[in-house]
Amino acid sequence: MSYTSQPYVKIREKLLAGELSVSAIVVSHLDQIHAHNKALNAFLEVYEEEAMTHAVHVDAKIKAGTAGKLAGLVIGIKDILCYKGHHSYAGSKILDSFKSTFSATAVQRLLDEDAIIIGRQNCDEFGMGSTNENSAYGPVLNFANPAYVAGGSSGGSAVAVQAGMCQISLGTDTGGSIRMPAAFCGVVGLKPTYGLVSRWGLIAYASSFDTIGPISNYVSDARLVLDIMKGDDGQDSTLSSTIPAVQKDKKRIAYIKEVVEHPSLQPEIKVAFEAQVDKLRALGYSVEGVEFPYIDQLLPTYYVLTTAESSSNLARFDGVKFGHRTADPVDLMQLYKRTRQEGFGEEVQRRIMLGTFVLSADYYDAYYTKAQKVRRLIQDKTLAILAEYDFIISPTTSSTAYRLGEKTLDPIQMYVGDLFTVQANVTGIPGLSIPMGKDSSGLPMGFQLMTNPFQEDKMLNVGELLSDDLE
């Protein structure tokens, strides 16, 4: 039996009643991993023995009445989050053999509540990608149909939940990397407000965009995990120390006309989206189209700023401090150059070069400064919409999953896939992707809700109502 066919609250009831053991749950997920991981490539490493030992310990705590809030919740973590004493490669050869000396706050807080970490999940190198084909450890395949990609960059995390290999995954979302694979795999993905969950222990891609969030089968599970992870830890200066109260429901929802009428939108996704709009209307919301004049600026702004930040963040991987070091360099310059050439994949090198270019003295104002100004315009306009409406809704992606290799030759084609998700990251607001059925070829589609900063609870409430409808 798969324990992912029920939300954690139900599992917990059985655990506390002695009808189920944590060990049995771990075994069931390990069975799924053994059956499918070789083909799907979702986990890069499975902590089999460790998870079993931990399960026995948590079972004893349940018996003693001292179990934490997540006792028996089996979690996989994206290979970009640090976990003390364990490898974290960020999907890159440059961190080959690197072991973390501390745990990310998000990971530690789950452990402190007796969650079990079952393994480390494949991802695009440093989170750069939309299909999980940029991992140095091979692509992740979609469990709905292995000829298709999982989506990226948290592809391993989404497929692991999709295939019942774990109950919850922790992913990261810089431009859509939680929501996009969640949509491609038919699971739930939550990108929290920037500043809600500490980035301590997250290997940085673009620091002013990066967020950590859950991927799950149930909205209630995502909420549970977010509640445990969130809040100040004194390690991330961008974290908000006060969290505003839940806002009153205005019963008004907006969709951006330019998104819903976008020429790239797959017709079946549009039909499914319209069905969601009808459901929301039946729930008493008015749903209206609004104008958003910056659709064409979203991706350029995102890619100028994230490549700039990544070129700076990735400067630390130089062969001196951690990870890969080239053999027998003649001098320090050669050590740096060869290490980085050998260690970084093609997409990461492209982004470092782009980022270095937009930050260079001659082009800084033309690209970096300008993109910062446009970011502000996008933020102001988005927040102005959200001052009048509870949510901005859209399909999560304009199409269902791509065939493997379909987008890899043209990086621009790949970037275009992020169009609907980057707005939340450019603005810092939260976003939730929930399943929206399947298209005629059996591939999952996703529905996205975005809302005001720190209004996750409100967003999750509606997400739950809509998902109940879908079940």
Binding interface with ligand GLN (CB under 6 A): 127-130, 153, 172-177, 205, 306, 418
The Cβ of residue 69 has, within 10 Å, a number of other Cβ atoms equal to 16
Kindly state the tokens that stand for 212. 């950590």
Beta bridge partners of 212: 172
Nearer to ligand GLN, 141 or 424 (CB): 424
Nearer to ligand GLN, 129 or 319 (CB): 129
Instruction: For 211-224, give one letter per residue: b (16+ CB within 10 A) or e.
Output: bbbbbbbbbbbbbb
CA 154 to chain centre: 5
The Cα–Cα gap between 56 and 49 comes to 11
* Residue of 21, 23, 100, 153 marked active site: 153
Nearer to ligand GLN, 110 or 149 (CB): 149
Nearer to ligand GLN, 205 or 454 (CB): 205
H helix or E strand, kind and range, residue 151:
none
Q: How far is the CB of 108 from ligand GLN (least distance, A)?
A: 22
Q: How far is the CB of 36 from ligand GLN (least distance, A)?
A: 24
- Report the residue count for the chain: 471
Q: How far is the CB of 465 from ligand GLN (least distance, A)?
A: 27
Question: Is residue 467 annotated as part of the catalytic site, yes or no?
Answer: no
Nearer to ligand GLN, 164 or 446 (CB): 446
For the purposes of burial, counting CB atoms within 10 Å of the CB of 146, is it exposed (0-12), middle (13-18) or buried (19 or more)?
middle
Q: How far is the CB of 152 from ligand GLN (least distance, A)?
A: 6
Nearer to ligand GLN, 103 or 172 (CB): 172
85: left (phi over 0), alpha (psi -120 to 50) or beta: left
* Residue of 177, 198, 311, 394 marked active site: 177
Beta bridge partners of 116: 74
Q: How far is the CB of 418 from ligand GLN (least distance, A)?
A: 5
Question: Is residue 360 annotated as part of the catalytic site, yes or no?
Answer: no
Yes or no: say if 442 and 191 are a contact pair by the CB < 8 Å rule.
Answer: no
Angle at 84 between CA 78 and CA 88, to 5 degrees: 40
Yes or no: say if 81 and 91 are a contact pair by the CB < 8 Å rule.
Answer: no
Q: How far is the CB of 112 from ligand GLN (least distance, A)?
A: 26
Question: Is residue 207 annotated as part of the catalytic site, yes or no?
Answer: no
Nearer to ligand GLN, 23 or 306 (CB): 306
**β-sheet with 431-438: strand ranges across:** 43-46, 116-121, 74-78, 168-173, 211-216, 188-191, 431-438, 444-451, 391-395, 252-256, 286-290
Q: How far is the CB of 49 from ligand GLN (least distance, A)?
A: 31
Angle at 237 between CA 126 and CA 322, to 5 degrees: 35
Q: How far is the CB of 90 from ligand GLN (least distance, A)?
A: 11
Residue 375's alpha-carbon distances to 108, 199, 212, 236, 381, in angstroms, are: 33, 21, 21, 22, 10
Nearer to ligand GLN, 127 or 444 (CB): 127
Yes or no: say if 201 and 106 are a contact pair by the CB < 8 Å rule.
Answer: yes
Yes or no: say if 224 and 456 are a contact pair by the CB < 8 Å rule.
Answer: no
Beta bridge partners of 431: 191, 450
Q: Which of 25, 11, 29, 306 is nearest to 165 (CA)?
A: 29
Nearer to ligand GLN, 115 or 424 (CB): 424
Query: Percentages helix, strand, coil for the chain, rounded to the nearest 5?
Result: 45, 15, 40
Q: How far is the CB of 173 from ligand GLN (least distance, A)?
A: 5
* Residue of 78, 230, 407, 458 marked active site: 78
Q: Residue 390 carries which side chain, given as an amino acid letter?
A: D
User: What is the set of active-site residues?
Assistant: 78, 153, 177
